[in-house]
Each structure stands twice: as C-alpha cells, then as structure tokens.
Amino acid sequence: MTKLQLAKNCIIDSKKLFLGHVGIAGTTGAGKSRNVAAKLLAECLAKQPSAPNGVRYAYVVVDTNDEYVGFTDRYPGQVVVFSPDATRGIPFRITSKNITIDDLSMFLREVTKKQLSKAELAALYMAIDELRAKGDYTLEQLYTRLYELEEYSLLPAFEKIMATNIFAPEETPLKLLARPGQASILAIGGYSAEVQAIIVAHLLRELFLARKNNEIAPCVIFLEECSVFAPEGELVPSSEILKSIATQARGYNFILVSIFQRSSMTSKNVLSQVGNWFIGKTGNPTDRQAILRNAEKIETEHDKVIKNLKAAKQFLVTGFIVETPAVVEIPDQKILLSKGGRIKPTVIEATFRREDMTEYVAKIRSLEETEQKRMKDDIARLRSEREEKLKVPVIPKETRKELSHLKTELQQTQVRYQKALEGLKEKEKAADRKARERFEATIKEQQAEIERLTRQVAIAGAGAPEEKSVWEQDIVKHRLKPLSEKQRDLVIFLERSGPSAAEKVAPTLGIAPKTVTAYVSEINSKIHGLVAFDEHKGVYHSRITELFPIQQSESSKDHERTLAEVVQLRQDLRHAQEAAATKTAEAAKLEQERNQLVKQLDSGKREDEWAPVLEELDSRLAGMVKLLGKVEG
C-alpha cells in the first residue's frame, strides 16, 4: 500500500485512488492544474505506487497548455517532455505509414474546417489505392502522388498537416511514452482544439490497445480540457476512445485523471465513470448540478460547500478514497509553468541525450530528413516537368514570318470582304433595278406590238372580200362536174401546188404513183387537155385557167396581198409572244437568283463562313452580270 499525501489532512491510499478513474473539477482558476493535478503527479513520482499486478504506474500528461513542462526542472530524471515540435521536446509522432482514408479525411476536414468534396475524396482514394498497391506509403508520398495527379485543391491542407509535424513515417514508440515510475508530458499547446483532439484520440487508442495487450505498464493518464476532448452532446475525434476508456479501462489498470472546467459540458460517459473526485470552487450552478449528480457520496447540501470553496486552495474530496466527503487544502505546488510555458533549453538538450531516447531521436531525425529530401526532390521534379509542359514552344523564324504574313493577309482579306459585301449589295440593287426597267420596257413593247398586230389581223380579216379559188367559181365547178371526186381533187391539187411529179401527187390522193397516168388520161378523156404532162420535166400541171379563163379583179389581187400580210403578221405575233415568254422566264430566274443571293449574304455574315461565301457571291455576281448583259443584248 502506497500512501499519497495530498494535503495535511489528506493522505490517501493509491490502490483506492486508482481503483477507478479520477475527476478534477472546478471553475477556471480553481487550482485544478497547479494545485491538485500537480500535487497528485508529484506525489506519484515521489512514492511510485504500483498497480495491483505489482508494476509501477507510468504517467502520461496531455498538456494542452504546456504548463506541465515545468516538471522537467523538478524531476529531471523522471520526466520527459514530448512534443510534435522538436524544439520543445522529444519528437512526438503519429505514423502516417498507411494512414487510412478515414483518418486522413478526418484530419483534412479538421484542418480545412470543411467537408471534402466528392472529387477530392475520389482523388484521395485513387492516390491511396495506387500507393497501397506498391506497398507501404507515407503522407509525403501521398502528397507527391496528389501533386502528380494535379489534385492541387487538397495540397494546402496537406501542407498544413505536414507543418504540424505530427505525422511521420515512424511512430513514437509507446514504450518510450509509458515508462513505469516515470512521466511523459505531451506538450501540445498552440495546436487547434481539432488537431489536439486528433492527437489525443490517436495517443489514447494506441496506449489503451497496448495496455490491453500488456505491452506497456499500467498507466495513469492526466487529461486536461476533458470538456473539449469528451464534450457532452457532440462528437469529436476523441469522443469514442474516451467513452471506451471510461467504461472499460479500469480493469486494465489504465486510469484516466480527467480535468474539466465545465462539468455540465463534459460527456456523461466520462463523468459517470469517475470514482474519485477532487472538486474545486465551482461558480456555475449547472456545473455543480452535474457534479452532484455524478460524484459518489455527495448530497445536495454539498452544493453550497462547492460554491463557497476557496479558489486555488480548497477542494472537496470524495469517492473511494474517503469515508465521507471532506474539504482539504492543497496549495499551488509551484511546479507548473504559466500556460504556454517552455522547457529550458538545457533540459531539452539533456533529454535528447538520455540513454533511452538517443536511439529513437536519431532514427526519427534521419527518417524525416530522408523523407523530406525525397519529397523536395519529387516536388522539384514535378515542378520542372510542369514548367516544361507549360513552356511556350519555340516557333522557327520562318514559321513566325509566315504566320505574321498570314495574319496581315487575313486582315486585308477581311477588309476586302467587308468592302465586297457592301459593293455587292449596291451592285445587286442597281442590277436589279436596271434589269427590272429593261424587262418592263421590253415586255411593254412586246405587249404593244402584240396588241397592234392583233388589231391589224382583225381589221385585215374583216375588210377582205370573200375569197374564192378558181375551182370554186360556179362556172368552173359546173365544167368539172363530169369528173369523179378523186379526179377533181387531182386537178385542184395541181392547180393549188403547181406542176408536180406523180410521186408528189399520188400520196395526197391515197393512190399509187403508177396509177396517176391512168387517172390523168381518164380526166383528159372527160375534159380534153385538162391535165398536161411535161415530158421534159416529168411533171403534171392543171390547165383550168387556160381552158376556163376567169377575169381576176383588182380587188381580188388586193385581197391576196392582205391575206399574205395577215399570215406574216400571225407569224410575227407568234414570234413576239415567244420572245416575251422567254424574257419573262429569264426575269423570273433572275428574281430567284437575287433572292438566293440576299439569303446567302445574310448567312454569309457569319465570320467563320465568310471566305467560301465571298467566293460564291463573287461568282454569282459575275454570272448575274453576264446574264444581264445577254438579256440587254
């Protein structure tokens, strides 16, 4: 049995003290750290209590304000300061070797104060997957892999994590942290509550696991700011492990000394498992309520007692260690430094030279140097690769010349295009107007001509005397009566067509050329000498006018002339109508072309298509001008 004298009137049995977890409560300034915790640790270091298994306890202090580093002055051989900052103590490291995506994303979230995006998470998965396939990996390798993948958004957060120096390829051996009879102060002052929570969570998980596996000595953990690491009604990275320790660790001689300002804001999981209490002055009634509800042997009348305790001096002690709750006086131990205190350089030097530390310190230094150098080299390589990629390619002089030439040409062509566009519009307008005028005039002329001719045809037709051929004269008709119809037709044909060969006569009568002679001799037998045959020319001719002379009047000659004129006029009229139709069709075609051109001009305004359109327009314009010339000609 080891007696720990905490106050004049307070000597407690260490076995009873560490039978359960210990709670130190009180408002800020109540003396929880400088008085109670400091006294408790000092007594333990001095008296070296053992756990029920006979092994001396090891002490680990989570020093969130770097106050406990003062212990190194008082107990140089027994107390070692660890810190992520190697200038403040032995390097404290969490391994980043094969860090899981969960741990990493939690850390990134805490650092960036925001959720990772899906894309960032995906990139992280990819990088980890690739590295894992090759074997063990470190945070630095992960960083360079993300750099290679050009996932830059995560890099600043990674840099922040690396700047904390908490992660390293190798973890601080738990055996160095938990040494029987000795204390390790983990100075994590200056880090954000989130980062501290991650460190605490990791440290406690590892220590508790090692303790359960009996790999380290029984432990007493002093945890400052317990309301922050195990808050009520909120989950932080350390919540889970603190709940496990509170409920399960006692049996493993893994004792938690939790120190909290705000009892009401500390997780019930932790409060309810506190067996021995040191309660300092507590002003807040809600906090007192939480204490009254959870502390052993405390009754409602203690509310007043707690309220009226002298700050930084008096404490109400209760739990297994006392029969009944008692107020004790524990003075400031003057061991702790002010918050944010620093271990003396001479002490640090001495610590680094400690036999049990040298090997680890040398190893971690060399590992970190190698890793950092590798990362620097990798990043430098990546940077130069990237710069190389981004470099503007060198353009040969000739190409550059050609390029500038092309540029000027392009600009000039653009100007030309604009001008052509405007000119074309003007030309098109003028051509259109001219063509219209010409066509309208021509069509008008043609129409006038048609009208004139039509009128003349009408007049000529009306004014002509009744026209009668020689064979239609009554007297001739009478003389020709002896002839059959076909014989008469033959005579009339010859009269009309003039002298004709048998081959010409026969088809019109529907007879064979051979039979023409027979017809002719029959005709001549009926009317002698009516059809004569010119043997020399081989043609037949009618002799009606000779046999039956009929006086042709002047008017009848006039009539014939008029008739010929009408025929000619009819022909002219037809030609005029045809010419008019052709011109109208041409005009319609031109009109169509013009509409198409206007459409093309509009669409041709689009810059990317201007060149082919310009060409098209030019050729169309030429075509139109040509056509116009033809029409005008």
Ligand X SMILES: Nc1ncnc2c1ncn2[C@@H]1O[C@H](COP(=O)(O)OP(=O)(O)OP(=O)(O)O)[C@@H](O)[C@H]1O
Contact flag: residue 2 with Mg ion (CB under 5 A) = no
φ, ψ for residue 106, nearest 5 deg: -65, -45
| CA–CA distance, 413 with 502 (Å, rounded to integer) | 79
Nearer to Mg ion, 259 or 527 (CB): 259
| CA–CA distance, 144 with 375 (Å, rounded to integer) | 7
DSSP per-residue string spanning 436-463: HHHHHHHHHHHHHHHHHHHHHHHHHHHH
User: Shortest distance, CB of residue 313 to ligand X, whole angstroms?
Assistant: 9
**500, interface contact from ligand X, Mg ion, none, CB < 5-8 Å by kind:** none
Residue nearest Mg ion (C-beta atom): 33
**23, interface contact from Mg ion, ligand X, none, CB < 5-8 Å by kind:** none
User: Shortest distance, CB of residue 248 to ligand X, whole angstroms?
Assistant: 27
φ, ψ for residue 252, nearest 5 deg: -100, 10
Region binding Mg ion by CB under 5 A among candidate stretches 32-40, 248-256, 267-275, 304-312: 32-40
Contact flag: residue 33 with Mg ion (CB under 5 A) = yes
Cα–Cα distance list, 147 to 154, 315, 422 (Å): 9, 56, 56
User: Shortest distance, CB of residue 254 to Mg ion, whole angstroms?
Assistant: 23
**30, interface contact from ligand X, Mg ion, none, CB < 5-8 Å by kind:** ligand X
Helix intervals (H) in 473-606: 474-479, 485-497, 502-509, 516-526, 544-547, 554-603
User: Shortest distance, CB of residue 30 to Mg ion, whole angstroms?
Assistant: 8
Region binding Mg ion by CB under 5 A among candidate stretches 31-39, 274-282, 507-515, 525-533: 31-39
Assigned token pair, 372: 């950092």
Compute how many residues bind Mg ion; rule: CB under 5 A. Answer: 2
User: Residue 210's CB: how many other CB atoms inside 10 A?
Assistant: 19
Nearer to ligand X, 202 or 262 (CB): 262
**311, interface contact from Mg ion, ligand X, none, CB < 5-8 Å by kind:** ligand X
Listed in order, strand segments (DSSP E) in 230-362 are 254-260, 274-279, 314-318, 326-329
| CA–CA distance, 88 with 91 (Å, rounded to integer) | 8
Q: Among residues 369, 352, 370, which one has the least CA distance to residue 361? A: 352
Residues 446/585/594/420 CA torsion (nearest 10 deg): -70
**218, interface contact from ligand X, Mg ion, none, CB < 5-8 Å by kind:** none
Region binding Mg ion by CB under 5 A among candidate stretches 27-35, 97-105, 236-244, 353-361: 27-35
State the DSSP H helix or E strand holding residue 167, giving kind and residue range, or none if neither: strand 167-168
Q: Which positions ≥6 away from 450 have C-beta within 8 Å?
A: 573, 576, 577, 580
Nearer to Mg ion, 189 or 218 (CB): 189
Nearer to ligand X, 144 or 267 (CB): 267
Contact flag: residue 27 with Mg ion (CB under 5 A) = no
| CA–CA distance, 537 with 122 (Å, rounded to integer) | 115
Q: Which positions ≥6 away from 41 have C-beta within 8 Å?
A: 59, 61, 68, 71, 183, 222
Q: Is the dihedral of CA 319, 202, 189, 43 positive or negative?
A: positive
User: Shortest distance, CB of residue 308 to Mg ion, whole angstroms?
Assistant: 21
Nearer to ligand X, 202 or 281 (CB): 281
Contact flag: residue 35 with Mg ion (CB under 5 A) = no
**332, interface contact from ligand X, Mg ion, none, CB < 5-8 Å by kind:** ligand X
Q: Is the dihedral of CA 65, 71, 72, 78 positive or negative?
A: negative
**31, interface contact from Mg ion, ligand X, none, CB < 5-8 Å by kind:** ligand X
Contact flag: residue 50 with Mg ion (CB under 5 A) = no
User: Shortest distance, CB of residue 33 to Mg ion, whole angstroms?
Assistant: 3
User: Shortest distance, CB of residue 88 to Mg ion, whole angstroms?
Assistant: 19
User: Shortest distance, CB of residue 246 to Mg ion, whole angstroms?
Assistant: 20
Q: Among residues 314, 110, 71, 140, which one has the least CA distance to residue 201? A: 110
**88, interface contact from Mg ion, ligand X, none, CB < 5-8 Å by kind:** none
Nearer to ligand X, 84 or 189 (CB): 189
Listed in order, strand segments (DSSP E) in 43-85 are 58-63, 79-83
Nearer to ligand X, 180 or 341 (CB): 341
Written in H, E and C, the secondary structure of 308-334 is CCCCCCEEEEECCCCCCCEEEECCCCC
Nearer to ligand X, 35 or 238 (CB): 35
Nearer to Mg ion, 329 or 593 (CB): 329
User: Shortest distance, CB of residue 65 to ligand X, whole angstroms?
Assistant: 7
User: Shortest distance, CB of residue 253 to ligand X, whole angstroms?
Assistant: 26
- Site residues for ligand X per CB under 6 A: 26, 28-35, 261, 280, 311-312, 332, 338
Binding site residues, Mg ion, CB under 5 A: 32-33
